[in-house]
Amino acid sequence: MDNKRLSERIKKLEEQVRGLREEKKKIKLLFEEAERRATHDGLTNLYNRRGLQEILEREKKRAERHNYPIGFLLVDLNDFKGINDVFGHQTGDKALTAVADLLRKSVRGSDVVVRYGGDEFLIVCPELQDLTPIKDRILLSLKDWDEGNSFLLSFPLSLAIGENVWWPGKDKTVEQAIHEADLAMYQNKNKVRKGGTRKGMVNTPL
| HSE-up (13 A, CA, CB side) for residue 197 | 17
pLDDT digits (tens, 9 = 90+) for 111-123: 999 999 889 999 9
pTM: 0.79
Is 144 annotated in the active site? no
**Domain 49-200 of CATH type 3.20.20.100:** no
Of 85, 119, 130, 146, the active-site residue reads 119
- Cβ neighbours for 126, distance < 8 A, ≥ 6 positions apart: 59, 62, 63, 68, 70, 110, 111
E-assigned strand segments in 101-195 = 112-115, 120-126, 159-166
Strands 159-166, 70-77: pairing is antiparallel
Distance CA(108)–CA(111), nearest Å, equals: 5
Tens of pLDDT along 6-48?
777 777 777 777 777 777 776 555 455 556 557 899 999 999 9
